[in-house]
């Protein structure tokens, strides 16, 4: 999560009066008479103008003494997209805190990871975001806890640990201090608003929803992920997406659907429906959200997992702003075909890097699965995983396993020597912490480090930066497919034309890739 400046008060007022969903998560409104803060889309009756205070984040509202609304539930609001206006240190720190970097760790630990002093980190976060790192982390934990209490039947103890608290006692104390009520009161309130939830089997997946700002080109996003998928690791079946995941020592699977998808759209035979992964919908869902079924084994790492899922599907983007900009940049016809195109992110940065290097310029999803080099490496080096879903049976290889295997092992799997050496070189840099392929890392430095490795192409490095670092302005001008789709013949021409698409050239590239893919199928 990163913050842009709070919109002017008059814009906030108009958006609030219109309950404009485009501003959901962009700002929050606190009502001074009730000391409750809401999303701009809250269906409750709004107060008089002089009783409203606007905030750029939930953390700022809670620091000012406001409590979350039980009706619109601010904890479900979409996050914020990366903004150049926010200094990098504060943005990176906020992103990592939102993904659980201070759960069981100190601010000094995070500062050490970022290469700055603890004092400098505290000052940067407080200056740019308005709250301390510890307050920001506490807000994330409490909002996730409220969500789990309202949407699931997890025990209070499991909610506490899944939300990042290190003890049940600290959780209860923090919850009562912040909200002046016991955790059980939230569950009773949720029942009053949403009715009783049906208990599932002990090993049944946990179902949650993740909000986004409409429109969302779900089918276009799935088309890209389908082409990129590795058999056994992930699958796109109908309009459902599923994959195996390893996060912070826990392994399991997720299955995701757009809430706007009707059951009739799944088709007659959908492997991801077994074992009833989405038989129960989340207790709180709406059209502008994706439903996520999470295996019980991943509940202890929900905070980092949900952050990575938001990145994978680019749920924090502001599509109306991006689409309008690209339309002005000459891509209006493509935007009209696919409004709300998103950048496909990743669950694990090394996974994206390995695929990009092994496949080179070849496109995934073409030909037999056995001919896919990424599939061969995944089945040789990835750990098997029992999920109960035959289509999801293996984890993607970790950087450590690829580094330990060495280039000779990859060559024995049919990987060309240059690519094998490049894959192992990147794996070793990631495994020892020299190279961090994650959101918030320095884009220029990461790209430079990648292109200095023999066997990593400009196109491959750009793909890695776009997906792993969640960089919206990534563009490979040497990509011949992009040049054809843009109607130019050289990298220089594409670079010149793409100046009109900044700072969202990666979204323009997605439109061009999708159009070129559609042409190739005609």
Q: Is the pLDDT of residue 270 over 60?
A: no
Q: What is the DSSP string of 254-293?
A: EEEEETT--GGGG-S--GGGTT-TTSS--SS--SSEEEEE
Dihedrals φ, ψ of 54, to 5°?
-105, 140
Least confident of 70-74, 77-81, 149-153, 215-219: 77-81
Specify if 437 maps to a domain. Answer: yes
Q: Is the pLDDT of residue 277 over 60?
A: no
Q: Is the pLDDT of residue 365 over 60?
A: no
Of 194, 229, 247, the one marking the end of a domain is 194
C-alpha span between 124 and 127 (Å, rounded): 5
Say which CATH number the domain at 168 has. 1.10.10.60
Specify if 456 maps to a domain. Answer: no
Dihedrals φ, ψ of 204, to 5°?
-70, 145
Least confident of 36-40, 257-261, 436-440: 257-261
pLDDT, average across residues 205-227: 95
Query: 399: part of which helix (H) or strand (E)?
Result: helix 399-412
Q: Is the pLDDT of residue 410 over 80?
A: yes
Q: Is the pLDDT of residue 53 over 50?
A: yes
C-alpha span between 124 and 88 (Å, rounded): 10
Query: 522: part of which helix (H) or strand (E)?
Result: none
Please give the torsion angle defined by the CA atoms of residues 98, 103, 107 and 108, in that order, rounded to the nearest 10 degrees. Answer: -130
Task: Take residue 398 and report the two structure tokens written for it.
Answer: 């970790």
Specify if 82 maps to a domain. Answer: no
Shared domain for 442 and 497, answered yes or no, is no
Shared domain for 108 and 178, answered yes or no, is yes
CB atoms within 10 A of CB 155: 10
> What is the structure's pLDDT at 275?
43
Three-class SS string for 411-478?
HHCCCCHHHHHHHHHHHHHHHCCCCCCCCCCCHHHHHHHHHCCCCCCHHHHHHHHHHHCCCCCCCCCC
> What is the structure's pLDDT at 190?
64
Instruction: Give me the residues paired with residue 210 across strands.
Output: 290
Give first-to-last CA distance, the chain, whole Å.
40
pLDDT band for position 268 (50/70/90)? Answer: very low
Least confident of 81-95, 320-334, 398-412, 413-427: 81-95
Q: Is the pLDDT of residue 497 over 60?
A: yes
> Can the peptide bond before residue 215 be classed as cis, meaning omega within 30 degrees of 0?
yes
Shared domain for 294 and 341, answered yes or no, is no
- Which of 74-78, 84-88, 354-358, 513-517 has maximum average pLDDT? 354-358
Q: Is the pLDDT of residue 339 over 60?
A: yes
Shared domain for 28 and 174, answered yes or no, is no
Three-class SS string for 290-341?
EEEEECHHHHHHHHHHHHHHHHHCCCCCCHHHHHHHHHHHHHHHHHHHCCCC
Q: For residues 230 and 306, is the Cβ–Cβ distance under 8 A?
A: no
- Residue count of the chain, please give it: 522
- Which of 22-26, 261-265, 271-275 has maximum average pLDDT? 22-26
Q: Is the pLDDT of residue 266 over 50?
A: no
Instruction: Give me the residues paired with residue 293 across strands.
Output: 207, 255
Shared domain for 35 and 172, answered yes or no, is no
Specify if 462 maps to a domain. Answer: no
Compute the Cα dihedral for 420, 423, 427, 428 and give only its sign: positive
Domain extent at residue 130: 88-194
Three-class SS string for 155-217?
CHHHHHHHCCCCCHHHHHHHHHHHHCCCHHHHHHHHHHHHCCCCCCCCCCCEEEEEECCCCCC
pLDDT, average across residues 353-358: 97
Task: Take residue 122 and report the two structure tokens written for it.
Answer: 């505290």
C-alpha span between 9 and 54 (Å, rounded): 7
Shared domain for 246 and 383, answered yes or no, is no
CA triplet 189, 190, 194: central angle to 5 degrees?
Answer: 125
pLDDT band for position 412 (50/70/90)? Answer: very high
C-alpha span between 395 and 347 (Å, rounded): 12
Say which CATH number the domain at 371 has. 1.10.340.30
pLDDT, average across residues 247-276: 70
Of 315, 337, 372, the one marking the end of a domain is 315
* Residue of 41 and 419 predicted with greater confidence: 419
Percent of the chain past pLDDT 70, that is, above it, reads 88
Instruction: Give me the residues paired with residue 255 across strands.
Output: 242, 293
Shared domain for 425 and 283, answered yes or no, is no
Three-class SS string for 128-158?
HHCCCHHHHHHHHHHHHHHHHHHHCCCCHHH
Say which CATH number the domain at 215 has. 3.30.310.20
Query: What separation in angstroms does the CA of 7 have from each of 2, 3, 126, 131?
Result: 15, 11, 19, 19
Specify if 355 maps to a domain. Answer: yes
Mean pLDDT for all residues in the chain: 88
C-alpha span between 310 and 315 (Å, rounded): 5
Query: What separation in angstroms does the CA of 441 have from each of 101, 244, 298, 309, 450?
Result: 15, 25, 25, 18, 13
- Which of 46-55, 338-347, 359-368 has maximum average pLDDT? 338-347
C-alpha span between 75 and 150 (Å, rounded): 11
Specify if 166 maps to a domain. Answer: yes
Specify if 340 maps to a domain. Answer: yes
Shared domain for 339 and 367, answered yes or no, is no
Shared domain for 123 and 57, answered yes or no, is no
Closest by CA to 134, choosing from 188, 189, 73, 63, is 63
pLDDT, average across residues 509-518: 93
Task: Take residue 299 and report the two structure tokens written for it.
Answer: 């509940």
Q: For residues 482 and 513, is the Cβ–Cβ distance under 8 A?
A: yes
pLDDT band for position 43 (50/70/90)? Answer: confident
CB atoms within 10 A of CB 153: 16
pLDDT band for position 15 (50/70/90)? Answer: confident
User: What pLDDT, in 10s, does the model give residues 282-333?
Assistant: 555 567 999 999 999 999 999 999 999 999 999 999 999 999 999 999 999 9
Parallel/antiparallel/unpaired status of strands 240-247 and 250-258: antiparallel
* Residue of 444 and 282 predicted with greater confidence: 444
C-alpha span between 206 and 42 (Å, rounded): 26
pLDDT, average across residues 334-338: 97
pLDDT band for position 400 (50/70/90)? Answer: very high
Specify if 186 maps to a domain. Answer: yes
Shared domain for 232 and 244, answered yes or no, is yes
pLDDT, average across residues 375-399: 97
> What is the structure's pLDDT at 24?
87
Of 148, 168, 194, the one marking the end of a domain is 194
C-alpha span between 337 and 331 (Å, rounded): 10
> What is the structure's pLDDT at 269?
45
Q: Is the pLDDT of residue 112 over 90?
A: yes
Residues 6+ apart with CB under 8 A from 316: 1, 25, 78, 79, 80, 81, 212, 310
C-alpha span between 462 and 475 (Å, rounded): 6
User: What pLDDT, in 10s, does the model give residues 79-106?
Assistant: 876 544 457 788 889 999 999 999 999 9
> What is the structure's pLDDT at 191?
64
User: How many structural domains does the chain have?
Assistant: 5
> What is the structure's pLDDT at 274?
45
Shared domain for 137 and 270, answered yes or no, is no
Shared domain for 217 and 285, answered yes or no, is yes
Say which CATH number the domain at 60 has. 3.40.10.10
> What is the structure's pLDDT at 284?
55
Dihedrals φ, ψ of 428, to 5°?
-70, -40
User: What pLDDT, in 10s, does the model give residues 474-492?
Assistant: 999 999 999 999 999 999 9
């Amino acid at each position: 999560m990163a913050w842009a400046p709070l919109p002017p008060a008059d814009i906030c007022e108009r958006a609030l009066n219109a309950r404009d969903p485009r501003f959901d998560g962009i700002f929050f409104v606190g009502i001074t008479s009730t000391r409750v803060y809401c999303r701009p889309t809250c269906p409750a009756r709004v107060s008089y103008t002089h009783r409203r205070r606007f905030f750029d984040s939930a953390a700022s509202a809670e620091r000012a003494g406001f409590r979350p609304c039980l009706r619109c539930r601010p904890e479900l609001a979409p996050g914020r997209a990366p903004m150049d206006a926010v200094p990098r240190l504060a943005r990176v720190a906020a992103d990592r805190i939102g993904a659980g970097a201070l759960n069981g760790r100190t601010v000094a630990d995070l500062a050490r990871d970022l290469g700055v002093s603890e004092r400098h980190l505290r000052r940067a976060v407080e200056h740019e975001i308005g709250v301390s790192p510890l307050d920001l982390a506490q807000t994330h934990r409490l909002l996730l806890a409220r969500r789990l209490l309202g949407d699931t039947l997890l025990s209070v103890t499991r909610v506490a640990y899944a939300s990042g608290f290190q003890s049940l006692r600290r959780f209860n104390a923090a919850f009562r201090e912040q909200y002046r009520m016991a955790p059980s009161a939230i569950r009773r309130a949720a029942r009053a608003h949403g009715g009783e939830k049906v208990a599932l089997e002990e090993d049944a997946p946990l179902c949650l929803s993740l909000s986004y700002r409409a429109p969302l080109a779900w089918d276009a996003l799935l088309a890209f992920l389908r082409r990129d998928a590795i058999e056994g690791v992930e699958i796109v079946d109908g309009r459902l997406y599923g994959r195996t995941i390893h996060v912070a020592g826990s392994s399991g699977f997720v299955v995701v659907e757009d809430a706007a998808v009707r059951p009739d759209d799944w088709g007659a035979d959908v492997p991801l429906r077994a074992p009833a992964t989405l038989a129960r919908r989340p207790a709180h869902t709406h059209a502008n959200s994706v439903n996520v079924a999470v295996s019980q084994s991943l509940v202890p790492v929900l905070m980092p997992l949900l952050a990575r899922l938001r990145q994978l599907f680019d749920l924090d983007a502001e599509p109306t702003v991006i689409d309008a900009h690209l339309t002005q940049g000459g891509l209006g016809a493509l935007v009209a075909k696919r409004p709300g195109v998103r950048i496909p992110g990743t669950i694990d940065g090394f996974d994206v890097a390995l695929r990009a290097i092994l496949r080179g310029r070849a496109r995934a999803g073409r030909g037999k699965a056995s001919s896919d080099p990424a599939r061969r490496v995944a089945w040789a080096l990835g750990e098997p995983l029992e999920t109960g879903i035959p289509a999801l049976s293996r984890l993607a290889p970790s950087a450590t396993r690829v580094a330990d295997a060495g280039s000779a092992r990859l060559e024995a799997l049919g990987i060309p020597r240059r690519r094998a050496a490049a894959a192992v070189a990147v794996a070793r840099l990631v495994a020892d912490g020299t190279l961090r392929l994650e959101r918030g890392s320095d884009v220029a430095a990461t790209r430079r480090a990648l292109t200095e490795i023999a066997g990593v192409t400009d196109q491959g490095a750009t793909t890695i930066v776009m997906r792993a670092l969640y960089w919206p302005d990534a563009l490979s001008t040497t990509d011949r497919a992009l040049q054809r789709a843009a109607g130019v013949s050289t990298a220089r021409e594409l670079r010149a034309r793409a100046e009109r698409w900044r700072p969202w050239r990666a979204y323009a590239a997605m439109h061009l890739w999708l159009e070129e893919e559609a042409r190739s199928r005609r």
